[in-house]
Structure 1
């Protein structure tokens, strides 16, 4: 309302109009200048509790709660090889308050499903790669198998009898098993579980022959499972005595990774700030100490670096998925 227009009203009425206008405009002005974050952030984990994705999510959430000064809570939304939780984040309001603990499964789903529930190229923005984690071939000790060569021999002598428990369809462990069967020339039944921990538990219990998961290192260290190989191209610095699959199967390389994504349309300043905070978090001594038992190697990349990495992963696994001709729908 202009000053000239206000002059047409009596002084008490003019005062009342000004107060009302201020009351109406104040919340909008505050909202326009509020700095992110000023309330609770939800970190969606698209897998069940207990697995590496969940544990890493809680480590990241706890650290960000301290550094950002607001609560960062974890919400598990498992299902469809991580697609349900990922779809939830992709459709969320792009304001920085709903974020995703993503993984290599988000790339693999783009090829394993003819109609994935989201488009990783259009619906999500990569913020920061959190860690790299190799998968482990962890065998039930009752099989008396202590090397990968012995596992191959056992599978060939028992075609179709040996089973390979993984953390779910379309996941990195699932691909690890399928690629191993093809490249090593063995017949094994791939059994997808709802998460790595159930796969481990059934392998320890004797229901499955081998678990191929990235949560296996603690169970290998306490001798509940026998570790025979890691799936990364080189040996893991956290398990240097364990051979890489590539030492027996040249060219084999499957490394799990985890990273934070936000919905497309999230303001660049929020993406940049969140990426910087995650980068610092992954280099902090207390976080590194928590990662070591998981066999996780911290990264903490910037948003552009993570975007470049995701693009490279899409190109790499697109070729592999075409060769394997794997479809899960």
Structure 2
């Protein structure tokens, strides 16, 4: 009996020691470089954002942030990889709404489920904006709609990814305006711009950040926000032009499932501090990004709400 009691005490002490070790490991995180995976092309919004965050994250977390790319499937290749990565906090991945919601709803071969991605936070939003080349004969949204009606199925709109904010937004606007345009998916916003400037597509359903980067080479017809943005006071909203259309993308960061909450919270706190840094905030807003912040718990509710919204929306739309 005494031997049993002694053995039990030893086992209990081992569990206590193990728990203390785990706590110490979490407290010490990070002890080596963190890989920050971007699921889109270099030069797009996700890449621009990560590059801007990089020096601030390194200072806050005290370690190197290595940015890498896993491109394809409108982000699905990168998100499929992250769900299989080791859940130790040393591989994180940028992710997007509506992409991570709409893709698994629309495709059987996505390679991940929305619930597989453990969200650290959402830190940014960018509205959709419809643009044409600066030398286009299309001057206004009214011109665009009329041209599309006169040339059904011949108008092409490029955008970032499939089943993305750009893709869904194009379908939404087609429905509202009673037109038929063809959506051309690119592997990222940066990849879509040369197609527009080279005359390979009629226009882009892109993001405000891309427009501000190429403002001298693009003409904005309308922006998908509730009100005009101070950054673009001369660009009308779709709503004021008679189309109840508000759409855009949210960007955040996720980690593999089963990543310890302590690590998730530490990462979330770091990204929150980056957003709150005045210099970073000023830089991003000047580039057309809108900073938001939803932490781990808020993110769960936000994803649930947006999932219901997109399910309802897609039941009314024909997405090809």
TM-score category by the smaller chain?
0.7 to 0.9
2:73 is the counterpart of 1:84: no
Alignment match, 2:167: 174
2:264 is the counterpart of 1:280: no
2:309 is the counterpart of 1:316: yes
- In 1, Cα distance between equivalents of 2:55 and 2:316: 41
1:142-161 per-residue CA deviation (whole Å, 9 max, x = no partner) reads 32222211111111122222
Say if 1:231 and 1:112 are closer, same or farther in 2 by CA, change over 3 A: farther
- In 2, Cα distance between equivalents of 1:32 and 1:133: 38
- In 2, Cα distance between equivalents of 1:298 and 1:290: 11
Shift in Å, 1:219: 4.3
Say if 1:233 and 1:254, in contact at 8 Å, map to a contact too: no
Q: Which of 288, 294, 298 is 1:295 aligned to? A: 288
Shift in Å, 1:198: 2.2
2:92 is the counterpart of 1:102: no
Aligned residue runs from structure 1 range 183-222, under 5 A: 183-214=176-207, 215-221=209-215
Superposed CA RMSD: 2.1
Shift in Å, 1:234: 2.9
Q: Which has the larger radius of gyration?
A: 1
- In 2, Cα distance between equivalents of 1:216 and 1:101: 18
Say if 1:191 and 1:249 are closer, same or farther in 2 by CA, change over 3 A: farther
Shift in Å, 1:30: 7.2
- In 1, Cα distance between equivalents of 2:240 and 2:23: 57
2:105 is the counterpart of 1:114: no
Worse overlay, 167-176 or 228-237:
228-237
Shift in Å, 1:116: 2.2
The alignment of Structure 1 onto Structure 2 pairs a total of residues equal to 300
Shift in Å, 1:239: 1.8
Aligned residue runs from structure 1 range 5-84, under 5 A: 33-34=24-25, 35-84=28-77
Say if 1:102 and 1:258, in contact at 8 Å, map to a contact too: yes
- What is the SS of the residue equivalent to 2:32? coil
1:18-53 per-residue CA deviation (whole Å, 9 max, x = no partner) reads xxxxxxxxxx99777331111111111111111001
- What is the SS of the residue equivalent to 1:135? strand
- In 1, Cα distance between equivalents of 2:191 and 2:93: 23
Say if 2:34 and 2:92, in contact at 8 Å, map to a contact too: yes
Q: Which of 137, 144, 151 is 1:151 aligned to? A: 144
Alignment match, 2:256: 263
Say if 1:201 and 1:107 are closer, same or farther in 2 by CA, change over 3 A: same
Worse overlay, 306-315 or 39-48:
306-315
Q: Which of 150, 158, 166 is 1:165 aligned to? A: 158
Say if 1:230 and 1:245, in contact at 8 Å, map to a contact too: yes
- In 2, Cα distance between equivalents of 1:219 and 1:255: 17
- In 2, Cα distance between equivalents of 1:82 and 1:233: 27
Say if 1:136 and 1:213, in contact at 8 Å, map to a contact too: yes
- What is the SS of the residue equivalent to 1:216? helix
Alignment match, 1:247: 240
Say if 1:200 and 1:249 are closer, same or farther in 2 by CA, change over 3 A: farther
- What is the SS of the residue equivalent to 1:54? helix
- What is the SS of the residue equivalent to 1:192? strand
TM-score (norm 1): 0.85
Say if 1:220 and 1:227, in contact at 8 Å, map to a contact too: no
Say if 1:325 and 1:157 are closer, same or farther in 2 by CA, change over 3 A: closer
Say if 2:129 and 2:206, in contact at 8 Å, map to a contact too: yes
Alignment match, 1:8: none
